[in-house]
């Protein structure tokens, strides 16, 4: 299963459903932004594991554990 497939097979709730579940409008907006950001990056990878590996490498680079080059 690819990362893109994983995102399309999950249940997607709209804003009204999230508000009905107790989320504030601000929280719904933040969740929508997060989903949009994640979707834009996850489509570039074949699997969710590959995406997670890149995220881990990014974290290591940001913490000085890996040098560029």
- pLDDT: which is higher, 60 or 68: 60
The whole-number pLDDT of residue 11 equals 65
What's the predicted TM-score (pTM) here? 0.46
Residue 6 has pLDDT above 50, yes or no: no
The whole-number pLDDT of residue 23 equals 92
Residue 2 has pLDDT above 50, yes or no: no
> What is the per-residue pLDDT across 10-58, written as a single tens digit (0 to 9) for each?
467 888 999 999 999 999 999 888 887 777 666 778 888 888 898 899 8
Chain-centre distance for alpha carbon 42: 7
- All structural domains of the chain with their residue ranges: 3-62
Return d(Cα 38, Cα 34) in angstroms, integer.
Answer: 6
25 burial class (0-12, 13-18, 19+ CB within 10 angstroms)?
A: exposed
């Amino acid at each position: 299963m690819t990362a893109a497939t994983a995102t399309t097979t999950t249940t997607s709730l709209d804003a009204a459903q999230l508000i009905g579940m107790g989320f504030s409008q601000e929280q719904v907006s933040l969740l929508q932004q997060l989903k949009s950001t994640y979707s834009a990056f996850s489509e570039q990878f074949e699997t969710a594991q590959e995406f997670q590996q890149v995220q881990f490498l990014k974290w290591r680079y940001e913490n000085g554990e890996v040098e560029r080059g």
